[in-house]
Structure 1
Amino acid sequence: RQVGPESTCREKLEKTIILYTKVLLDFLEYHPCAFIPLIQRSLEFAVSYVFTPAGEGVTFERFTVQCMNLIKMIVKNDAYKPAKNIDDSKPESLEAHKIKTAFFTHPTLTEIGRRLVSHYFLLTEEELAMWEEDPESFAVEETGGDSWKYSLRPCTEVLFLDIFHNYSQTLTPVLLDMVQNLQGPTNVEDPVQLLMKDAVYNAVGLAAYELFDNVDFDQWFKNQLLGELQVNHHRYKLIRRRVIWLIGQWISVKFKSDLRPLLYEVILSLMQDPDLVYLDSIFGLLFQLLQQVTECDTKMQVLHVISCVIERVNIQIRPYVVCLVQYLPLLWKQSEDHNMLRCAILTTLIHLVQGLGAESKNLYSFLLPVIQLSTDVSQPPHVYLLEDGLELWLVTLENSPAITPELLRIFQNMSALLELSSENLRTCFQIVNAYIYLSATEFLQNYGESLCRSFCDLLKDITNDGQVQVLKVVEIALKVSPILGAHMFQPLLPAVFRGILDGERYPVVMSTYLGIMGRVLLQNASFFSSLLTQMASECNQEMDQLFGSVIEMWVDRMDNITQPERRKLSSLALLSLLPSDNSVIQDKFCGIINICVEALHDVMTEDPETGTFKDCMLMSHFEEPKLSDDEEPPTEQDKRKK
């Protein structure tokens, strides 16, 4: 108190104090059990300075933050909590819990709770001035991550949450009493009451999950909050902002769906255009807001909301996206130095393509260069954009009505992506599959050889699961284009053949091997014959002897195949051999028939109307199924798969 804020000693004293509190915090964090003898004195010290008049004129913001963090870490520390079964608790945990229980009495908790809300939750003059001068910066002020360790507002909110969670029985009546005292409209000429209501509503929003059983939010919304949202006085914007935030906190906790139309109408009125239909107006106003704001963080938040709207309404968004589609290329260009904003644009594009379906082809002049840049590992931005760029690439292919030269050309990026062998490998395989479904002939003719080389390199050093993923792509290529697929992936097939012959131990890999070989045998018998000749030469065996070994292993390992469609495929493949007069095949006749009967049993189901049995995997017609309201319409790729 004797050292004023202007004193030259003040800064050094503050640094020394912070250093001492940091020692305490580090000691508590890394040696919680050794800290137990200090719990009582630490709590007394921190609470007295932060929550009693003892701290007035002495404390400064960083010190307050440190003290609050000290309280928070003691309250939340798992080492200080007894086990659910008290007999399983460690003695030190029981001792710490006893100290905490003795300290956090009802009066102490009540005072802490009230002071947190009525003092620390109040918006400061600086914050209110910032709101007036730069509302965007005020709205996106950093409160996430570890900001609670250094900044006062997030620190107070995190402390409130932790104390409320641990002592909700004591603090719930305190908070509800504060709410009760603020019922009804607040005088716009009373700034103190406005700030207090904002603070209390903030507390109720933060503690939404804890208050689930104690607050009838639907009634509160109808009787109180709705009216407050309709107060148009400019000074009441403080409460309007807080109420709409409060509803956002509670809407996933406790809010009846039949109240939502009423809420949407109020939201639209807050966005100053109450006369339009929900979707049209919401989307139009969001787009208008997206254009008006200048901060990257704000644009990202608006794009996130736009993405959520598009995802929610799906194809119903189509009539409303013209302006957004025209604006996004400009925003992409303007955000060249802001990769996180570009990530948000990519996410929006993903949902936009899904909503537009086949109509997304009209965006290719913008979409494809974006995908090209985002997935080009030679370009620095790929570090930020790759994951979302791959997802956009995939949904673009899935919703493409037909291949285009430009869409085909961007596959040039894939070879380098496969070399990375990163966590995005699965998405890369999905992209390859999508190209095969979209236009197998053009795709394989252009990229089959390079893709096969990449796969050969991958298979040299990859997990069993990764091996299966690679081979599934080959299997799809053989399914869609039996002749060209076998030709393009011919270098891989000897390894598959050897895997079967050697009795691959990993069942899922063996199942995939048999699936691939079944496709070749059933749909491209001449190729299988040439492969058999090649393998006999490599193995220095008679062709019939080798063929017999393969069939024997196939029959023996049929149980490795769990999917009914693959069991049926193997059965059909082996059945296709029976017309031959080859003695090897005749010797295996019983084994082949046996597995075919088993497969038949797997796929046959009884028709309840006729009492006859039919193949459940046989598609007799291609009528589009009727979709329920909750189901998404099929993509172009879904149709192609059929």
Structure 2
Amino acid sequence: MDPNIYVMVLDTLNRATSQDAEVLKPAEKKLQEWEIEPGFYSVLLDILSNHSIDVNVRWLAVMCFKNGIDRYWRRNAPNAISEEEKQKLRQGLLTTNILGEPVAQIATQQAVLISKIARFDCPNNWPSLVPDLVCALKAPQPLVQHRSLLIFHHVVKALASKRLIGDRRTFQELTNSVYAFILNLWHENTELFLRHIQEGATTALITEHLEKALLCLRILRKLTVFGFKKAHESQDAVAFLNVVFDRAKTSLECRKLLKGRGIYPLELCEKFIIHLTKVALGVLGFHPFSYVPLIRPSLEFALYYCFTEQGMSLIYERFTIQCLNIVKGILQCVEYKLPKGVDQVSDPLTLQAHQIKMEVLDQNTVCHMCRHLVTHYFLLSSDDLALWDAEPESFAIDEAGESWKYSLRPCTEALFMELFQFRNVLAPELVRLLASLQQGPITPDDLNAILKKDAIYNAVRLAAFDLYDDVDFDEWFTNVLSQELKMKDNNYRIIRRRVCQLIGIWCGVRASQSLRPAMYEALIAPLTQSDEDPAVKLAAAEALRSTIDDFNFDVEQFAPYAPHAIAALYDLLVESEECDTKMHVLHVVSYVMERCGAHVARSGGTGALFAYLPQLWQHAASHNMLRAAALSATVHLLKAIGECSPNVRPWIVSVVNESTRLSEPAHVYLLEDALELWLAILETSQAPDPPLLSLAENLCPILEQSTEHLRIVVYIMQAYTLLCPEEFLTGAGGKCMALLEDMLSDMRIEGVITVLKMAEICISVTFPERNAFLGVKVIWPIIIRVIHCLLESDDLPMVLSVQLSLVSRVILLSSDLFYKAIQEAASNCAEYDRDPGKVLNRFLQVWTENMNLVTQVERWKVVGLGLAALLTTQNATVLERFPAILLNLTEVLNDVMKSEDNGTYIDGLVAPPGSRPASPLEGRGGAARWEEGGRARALDAPHAPHELRRRRLAAAHPARVIDLRAVVHHQLETLKVQVGAETFERLIQATDHETLQQIREYVPL
């Protein structure tokens, strides 16, 4: 770089911190250009370590440096930083200026930067890093000590994240070398900050030692969890773990003092306590057997602070969550549970852990925990009710995923459900709590009583499956719950919401079939009332989805309620303001459509919903997940109705086009649902139109990107091929087939079969006379590839079956095309001297020897028809295989022929007049298709356009229209004329006696 680069870079960094876009943009561009220049990062290091330079400039320098590490530090990265410059940078990153960085934010970024390099280079290329940091930790200057600890924390964090065996071994060696030192440093600083708090020292003094203690604790947590194979085998680790809960108790008392004085370090103190509990959770998760000695103290600790009045006066929410999660972790731990049906426990620590757990969690303790969870933690707080009033939609959306790790309510509910491994103790306790509610009516003004009832109802909801034998839900619903839904006081919205949730869960646990209509009415009622609370409506909608998404769901029973449900859900969708809420409602709509299908279509309640979707699409312009839900709902609407209104069709096509263009960033979220919608619009189309045909141009880029969506893309190609074969295969379809052929060698078995089945469809459809062989032309490279594959004969039977069927379809179309394919394949077969005769001989050998691997009966017959068609092609190689061909034809006849009452034989696959043939579109599941993972259903309307096209194709399937016995008889007679009676007799005599005996039952020879 230029000798004056330091000045130039400094000036550019200055300009890059400007608020003026005209100054900022060129400077950013220049910095990007310099990223790959030798020496650039050395200059950045000089700038960021110069404390006299403006803080914003140094901040930008460290961020540029950090980004460069990610991109250019790897040895094999394009434009990688040279080894000489790396060495210089490593030396400069632990200088006095770096370790004495006065600005905390810059110091943190420098620590992260060093840790990124350490992850690449430590210990092999940077062996001095850890010793230098340990040395710096002993420096007399407090700031240097703090910054060294900060760097060491981030280095340990980075190294602990590596998971290869060699890296883990290295980290264990690092742990052994520094653990005792860091532990002593932690003890030192912890004692100092605790004493300073108790003595009322200055904020600065408390903060100094508290920050160091917290950094040491973070380091110790990583070292303890990831630095030992068995933590309990290290005396230092055991010593550390034994004081964790004592330190937490003392820190909680000190927190109380800090809180009383209103001193700043309160937040730091809370972080320190939380990290102590994180140590316990980490060891419990990664070293359960090392945690066995801590089971009793940790349970007693959590029980005191979370379930007694004295303890609860000292705690705060985040700490409560951690403690409850420790209890949950112990209850959940597989290593602490006795295996069922085993007399002897394999590990004595398992028995010890189980005994400790059962001693601490005796019957009285478990019952107390259950009551306390229900009557204290489950109660809606004033903050909950305030949120409900201010943002009912946000309040109503349930937290999901792993929210139990961070939020109090999901955490308490998760622990409550885990406690029910003591079902025999807790079920009667919960029934007693439920019975206590029946002592008298609750007035709407008694909010406390309502909140208590809500909490108990919530507990019964969570434990529903464990209360199957203890609660008569039919009686409860009929006499109590259904009446409570009719109580319209504002406070009673709390109960109405919970009753809806109870119905939603208990319908799948224990609710009689005869009660379901009453449940549907109870849930639809709040949805149809304009003055009902939004949170209650959303709970009713979700409960309705649960009642429909149930094993015992009866479509006919729900049919009378379908139009009311759809209309109510539409109103709720329009009323909802939050995108997340609309998304939830759309999911319910999709469930109703999916489960009820044509019943919903007949109700006529879908028109308004269909008309609203374009408006919703525009509303969700910046909310891709809502748009994805809208696409899914549209798919289910189309499939339920079986047709697409001309008014909404242009919008659907444009939406599919927008969502399947890979140039659009939103395709990442929308592509999967858009492909389903694309297929649905094709299946409802009576005839192709220009927008639909131009849409097909989006298929190739999707296939080029990956095979993730191969199955649905091929379904779309099949639908196009049935709708408009000539237009599709002469355009986008032909390009797609060429691309699929090129991808075949890298595909897994499922993908290969999918592509071959698509090729079979291409030559199954009917083309105009001028393009009679268009299908063969499009798949010609695939046919050549199939011949090469069959010559090797190393494919699995399922692949070989489709390959033979495809070749047979070509033969049935034109034997000349088959011989032409053999000739072209031979031109690339050096091992067969490029001789078509040798290739054909080998091909027929593989065919006749492996034909019995074809298990699907229609394919079995088609392959037999293909063999029979070759008999009269006057090819000497074919006649050499005559005995084997006749043997295979006999076996096919044995399978497909069936005997009539009068003793005559008929072809059992030839469809009688007026019957509905099976679909040749294998993998589509006949008339209805379910996607993997329970996704959208294929159109099941018997008169849907695609279904009619499918039936026409199925009706023309060779296995269904050609009488195999007649074909074999005709071919043998023709062959006899072609070769003469004497030669024909010789061919017959070359065939074994048993085969002749069997074939004569069907065909006279």
Alignment TM class, shorter chain as reference: over 0.9
Q: 1:348-406, CA deviations, whole angstroms, 9 ceiling, x for partnerless residues?
A: 01101101213356532111111112221121111111111112222222333332222
Say yes or no: does 1:172 pair with 2:427.
yes
* Pair 1:18–1:549, CA change in 2 (3 A): closer
Aligned pairs for 1:110-149 within 5 A: 110-140=367-397, 143-149=399-405
Distance (Å, rounded) in 1 between the aligned partners of 2:271 and 2:529: 52
Deviations 1:6-54 (A, max 9, x none): 6215333322211211221112112111011011011001011101122
Q: 1:5 to 1:337 in 2, by over 3 A?
A: farther
Match of 1:633 in 2: 941
Q: Give the drift of 1:212.
A: 1.4
Deviation at 1:118, TM superposition (A): 0.3
Distance 1:584 1:80, change over 3 A: same
Instruction: Pick from 614, 618, 630 the counterpart of residue 910 of structure 2.
Output: 618
Give the Cα–Cα distance (whole angstroms) in 1 for the partners of residues 566 and 261 of structure 2.
53
Counterpart in the other structure of 2:857: 564
CA distance in structure 1 between the partners assigned to 2:298 and 2:376 by the alignment? 22
Q: Give the letter for the 2:664 counterpart.
A: Q
Q: Does 1:260 align with 2:516?
A: yes
Check the 8 A contact 2:717/2:733 in 1, yes or no.
no
- Residue 521 of structure 1 aligns with an amino acid whose one-letter code is I
Aligned to 2:251: none
Alignment partner, residue 693 of structure 2: 408
- What is the CA–CA distance in structure 2 between the aligned matches of 1:406 and 1:483, rounded to whole Å? 27
1:577-588 equivalences in 2 (<5 Å)? 577-588=870-881
- Which of 478, 492, 497 lines up with 2:787 in the alignment? 497
Pairwise mapping of residues 278-427 of structure 1 onto structure 2 (< 5 A)?
A: 278-318=561-601, 319-359=604-644, 363-427=648-712
1:573 aligns to 2:828 (yes or no): no
- Name the structure 2 match of 1:443: 728
Return the TM-score normalized by structure 2. Answer: 0.61
How far, CA to CA, are the matches of 1:221 and 1:414 in structure 2?
52
Structure 2, unmatched stretches of 5+, are 1-255, 531-558, 767-771, 918-926, 929-936, 952-1005
Distance (whole Å) between structure 2 residues aligned to residue 80 and residue 58 of structure 1: 30
The equivalent residue for 2:262 is: 7
Aligned-partner Cα distance in 2 for 1:376–1:496: 32
Change (3 A) 1:359 1:384: closer
Q: Is 1:69 the counterpart of 2:361 in the alignment?
A: no
441-450 or 90-99, which deviates more: 441-450
**Do the aligned residues in 1 keep the contact of 2:896 with 2:909 (CA within 8 Å)?**
yes
CA contact (8 A) 1:360 1:400 kept: no
Task: Report the CA distance between 1:463 and its aligned residue.
Answer: 2.4
Stretch moving more, 597-606 or 529-538: 529-538
Q: Distance in 1 between matches of 2:902 and 2:639?
A: 41
In the TM superposition, residue 623 of structure 1 has moved relative to its aligned partner by 4.9
CA contact (8 A) 1:353 1:360 kept: no
Distance 1:254 1:614 in 2: 53
How far apart, in 2, do the equivalents of 1:428 and 1:449 lie? Answer: 14
Residues 441, 610 of structure 1: CA spacing in aligned structure 2 closer, same or farther, 3 A cutoff? farther
Output aligned runs, 1:12-161, within 5 Å: 12-84=268-340, 85-140=342-397, 143-161=399-417
Which structure's CA Rg is the greater one?
Answer: 2
d(CA) in 1 for partners of 2:498, 2:277: 34
Compute the RMSD of aligned alpha carbons: 2.4
Instruction: Pick closer, same or farther for the CA change 1:433–1:62 going to 2, 3 Å.
Output: same
Tell me: CA distance 1:88–1:604, structure 2 relative to 1, closer, same or farther (3 Å): farther
CA distance in 2, matches of 1:611, 1:242: 70
Partner of 2:758: 473
What is the CA-CA distance between 1:606 and the residue it aligns to? 4.7
Q: Which moved more, 1:405-414 or 1:630-639?
A: 630-639
| Distance in 2 (alpha carbons) for counterparts of 1:137 and 1:611 | 74
Q: Distance in 2 between matches of 1:383 and 1:490?
A: 34
**Letter of the aligned partner of 2:633 in structure 1?**
T
Match of 2:800 among 505, 510, 515: 510
Judging changes above 3 Å, is the alpha-carbon distance between structure 1 residues 551 and 62 closer, same or farther for their aligned structure 2 residues?
same
CA distance 1:375–1:5, change in 2 (3 Å): farther
Q: SS at 1:188's partner residue?
A: coil
Pick from 739, 764, 788 the counterpart of residue 454 of structure 1: 739
Please tell me whether the aligned partners of residues 659 and 666 of structure 2 are also in contact (alpha carbons under 8 angstroms): yes
* 1:347 Cα deviation from its structure 2 partner: 1.1
Q: Could you tell me how far apart the structure 2 residues matched to 1:230 and 1:610 are?
A: 71
Match of 1:548 among 832, 841, 852: 841
Report if the CA contact (8 A) 1:578-1:586 is conserved. yes
Deviations 1:201-243 (A, max 9, x none): 0000011111112211111111211111122222211111111
How far apart, CA to CA, are the structure 1 residues paired with 2:736 and 2:267? Answer: 65
Q: With CA pairs under 8 Å and 6+ residues apart, which has the higher RCO, 1 or 2? A: 1
**Residue in 1 aligned with 2:459?**
203
Q: CA deviation at 1:254?
A: 1.4
SS at match of 2:289: coil
Determine if contact 2:753/2:802 at 8 Å carries over to the other structure. Answer: yes
In the alignment, is the contact (CA less than 8 A) between 1:217 and 1:255 conserved in 2?
A: yes
Name the stretch that deviates more: 2-11 or 412-421: 2-11
Aligned length: 636
| Per-residue deviation, 1:547 | 2.9
Q: Distance in 2 between matches of 1:623 and 1:358?
A: 25
Residue 483 (structure 1) aligned with residue 791 (structure 2)? no
Q: Determine if the alignment matches structure 1 residue 226 to structure 2 residue 482.
A: yes
Structure 1 stretch 576-585 or stretch 522-531: which is displaced more?
A: 576-585
CA distance in 1, matches of 2:379, 2:946: 54
CA positional deviation for 1:324: 1.2
Q: Do the aligned residues in 1 keep the contact of 2:642 with 2:941 (CA within 8 Å)?
A: no
Give 1:95 shift: 0.6
Structure 1 residues 612 and 97, CA gap change in structure 2 (3 angstroms)? farther
Letter in 1 for 2:358: T
Aligned letter for 1:637? H
Distance across 1 between alignment mates of 2:306 and 2:869: 84
> Which residue number in structure 1 is paired with residue 127 of structure 2?
none
> 1:86, CA displacement in angstroms?
3.6
- Give the whole-Å Cα distance in 2 for the aligned partners of 1:86 and 1:333: 65
Query: How far apart, CA to CA, are the structure 2 residues paired with 1:620 and 1:208?
Result: 54
CA distance in 1, matches of 2:476, 2:908: 54
Give yes or no for contact 1:310–1:352 (8 Å, CA) kept in 2. yes
The answer as to whether partners of 1:82 and 1:90 remain within 8 angstroms in 2 is no
CA distance in 1, matches of 2:637, 2:879: 58
Distance in 1 (alpha carbons) for counterparts of 2:710 and 2:666: 19
Q: TM-score, normalised by structure 1?
A: 0.94
**Alignment partner of 1:66: what SS?**
helix
How many angstroms does 1:611 deviate by?
6.5
